[in-house]
Chains A and B, each alone.
Chain A
Amino acid sequence: MSGPGSFPSRPTLRRGVFTTDPRRLAVLYLLLGLAAVILGTLLSLVIRIHRIWPASPFPLYGLLKPEDYLAVVTLHGTLMIFFVLTVVPQQAFPNLVLPAQIGASRMALPRLNAAAFWITLASLLVLLAAFFVPEGAPIAGWTSYPPLSIFAAAGPGQGAGMDCWLVAVLIFCIGAMASAASFLATIVLRRAPGMTFSRLPLTVWSWMVSSALTLIAFSVLLAAAGMLLADRHFGTSFFVPGGEVINGVLQHEPASPGSPMLWLHLFWFFGHPEVYISILPGMGLASSLLANFTRRSVPAYPLMVIATLAIGVFGLGVWGHHIFVSGMNPYAGTAFGLTTMAIAVPSSAEVLTWLAMLFRGKIRATTPMLFAIGFISFFIAGGLTGPILAQPALDSYLHNTFFVVAHFHLVMAMAGVFSIFAGIYYWYPLLTGRRMNETLGKLHFWISLIAAYGTFFPMHLAGLAGEPRHYAQLTGPVESFVSLIPVERGITWSALTLAAAQLIFLCNVFISIRRGNPAGENPWLATTLEWSPIQHPTISDGPYVYGIADGTQKDYLPQWTLPPSNETEQRSRKWDAATEQE
């Protein structure tokens, strides 16, 4: 495109795409998350279909080989954990509302914050490149345990594909840390006058804790992934065990062997805080939504803040419960079991507070509220198996069975995804000025809830029966698990229903952009600042003042106070214009 007409396109590109406006960045992040979740869901359907019809070929691909199955599992896990459950709650949502909720017009370090998105996108592209390199995607699982992840001979995809995975993870770490640093600086320094720490919405507290966890956890992963790359390409032997024989060939023997256990420790020192990085924002959001839709304040606000902080701190000390059966010292196992039990205490404090709010309040069952309740339901259902798996003795039986798959898909995946849905239904008016369709939303909720339990609850039973993870198929020469085939079939149909229900959601999102009911200024009668009609308001109250009966029509007190005269508003506009030039 040339000629005089193309002149304005440069600023448009700069402002439209390479933007530093947090709301636009949030949309970009949401689109990235949408792409990742669609791909991840399709991969999970491939997994489910292959498990019950292992002999039927896929259209356009053909028969799924066992190594293809492992590659699909690896990419499903990586996409979902990094690019959906981290990107959306920890990067998209803060960009959407964090500055507004603390009364700032933008982030403290807008360019760093914007750069984080492009780094994350680059990471996704490198990861997806793994499908197209020779031998295809890696098969080592999203945890990439050595020695499988060290030797290119260990399997198809462990050459270039594994390198793509590692580089993608390295890039992702840098992006996540950049956005976390920007959020922390924003929360600490850009709060509006009057927005004290005791008036922060619980979502902001959650993002503060999860951003601190991001800085700590992802730098560990960065170091570990760097060392694994050095092991693969520079001949070091941090994680390389000695005497490794693959297909009868003795692999490169290091002068003195290293320890795969070190990777396990480092990886899970990242991996467990990662769970809280993706679930804490959902917990903060659930508290806010419950307060709003039961018209009650959050009881024990300080307790909720302390519980959030405690989960963040304890979350750094429980990683060993992922590796009980790895040959770790049994005494260490007991210690990690104890710390894991300890983290149940603040988690239960939050859950009991939510239940108290539900019992005592008048529930307005809007779609975001339903999804928040769904989040709590999954958090409890999945959380209750946590203390079971935290026992080293029980875990030695249940480890690597479908019981574990059920546990983390309920407590992390489904709870995380339902909180994401709650956030999207709730904040949709901020982006479009319209509300999403309630009927479609409720349909989406009920089908998703039932289908999600139908998918993941039976996995407990399959796991108790001993069904292992990462097996491409259950039938074959050994017939131990034939009796589980009906359960598997039910799970697959349920998963297909679950995936199909998301089409309702997608339709709702795109239809409501044009056709949704106009939302008005504060559609949910909320108190937090993202719904404030003016920028730079004066903050006069805590975040959850609901249920007051003073004879007026309003039963809530928003955090903002409208200025008494026109003058203040003009002044804040002037400040805003000046800030934009900065």
Chain B
Amino acid sequence: MPATFTRHQVEIERKDTGYGGKPPLDRRPTGGGGGDDNWDSRPSGRRGPRELLIRYRLAVLSVLTADFVFFAVLISVFFVRPSDGHISPSQGYVSDWHPLLVPPILWINTAILLLSTVTAEIARRQLFHEIDIMEEWLGLGRPAVRRAAPWLAATVVLGGLFLTGQCLAWHQLVQQGLTISTNPNSNFFYLVTVAHGVHLLLGLGALVFALIAMFRLKRVEFRQIAVDCSTWYWHAMGVFWGFIFVLLIASQR
């Protein structure tokens, strides 16, 4: 069978130095997209799958910055309020910041949240595992989704457990007679835990959305975005909780 083939133009132009060596970098055959396969020089919006991911990450970062300020404001109350006592003629300086017994279940909740952060991160990394993603991109099944799904589901369950634990903690405090309106410390306690709980509920929604989206979305990069953004949000809420928890524990003296 006579082999007939046409040499690629690049091959013809390539000057053979005669003694081997590396092929010239400047005249590499490109992937069929013309001479400029450098995605960065394309107009924005056409710079490949990673561009969209970065865009969403930046939006999440902006929102988290705002959220950080939001929690900073709530926590500022905590720093301003305890020093706001009054001078009594008989007793001298009287502080009205009454310590409360932080329900021990919060320690368990904190451990659960930490664990959920770890599982979320494992799920996120599965979706960026190069070989699996290549397979998904080429349409050879969905190994990354298959591996990430249990971890993401575990995160959702752990998140649900944390929120249940928080509800238990509030319930225990109410049993002790400490409601939101009892004293400044309980005001603060409920304010930050409820605000954080609402944020976590939103995060849980995002995780459930990501879990469904992993199976429903047709494009790899959208699946990555859904999981990546909800995970970063979840991580931030974990960090915020760590800070809040330390404050709650440290302030009860």
Contacts and interface: CB of A to CB of B under 8 A. Distances in A.
A193 B51 CA distance: 14
Interface in A178-195: 180-182, 184-185, 188-193
A273 to B, nearest CB: 11
B44 A254 contact: no
A109 B59 contact: yes
Contacts of A582: 45, 52
A255 B185 CA distance: 11
Interface stretch (A196-204, A216-224, A468-476): A216-224
Contact of B81 (A108, A177, A222, A258): A258
B63 A184 contact: no
Contact of B74 (A189, A190, A223, A258): A223
Interface in B201-243: none
A237 interface: yes
A575 B59 contact: no
Interface string B184-201: 100100110001000000
A193 B42 CA distance: 7
A185 B59 contact: yes
Interface in A281-300: none
Contacts of B187: 230, 236-238, 258
A454 to B, nearest CB: 41
Interface in A229-266: 230, 234-238, 254-256, 258-259, 262, 266
A256 B62 contact: no
A181 B84 CA distance: 36
B107 interface: no
A109 B181 CA distance: 41
Given A236-B187, A262-B77, A255 B181 contact: yes
A410 interface: no
> Most A CB atoms within 10 A — which of B54, B74, B81, B181?
B181
Nearest to A266: B73
Contacts of B77: 227, 238, 262
A579 B45 contact: yes
Given A258-B184, A259-B84, A223 B58 contact: no
A190 B44 contact: yes
B46 interface: yes
Interface stretch (B6-14, B20-28, B64-72): B64-72
A246 B29 CA distance: 84
Contact of B179 (A105, A224, A235, A266): A235
Contacts of B252: none
Nearest to B95: A256
A226 interface: yes
Given A185-B62, A230-B191, A223 B45 contact: no
10 contacts: A104-B44, A106-B45, A219-B69, A223-B74, A235-B179, A236-B187, A258-B84, A262-B80, A578-B46, A579-B45
The 4 closest A-B pairs by CB, nearest first: A235-B181, A256-B96, A181-B62, A223-B73
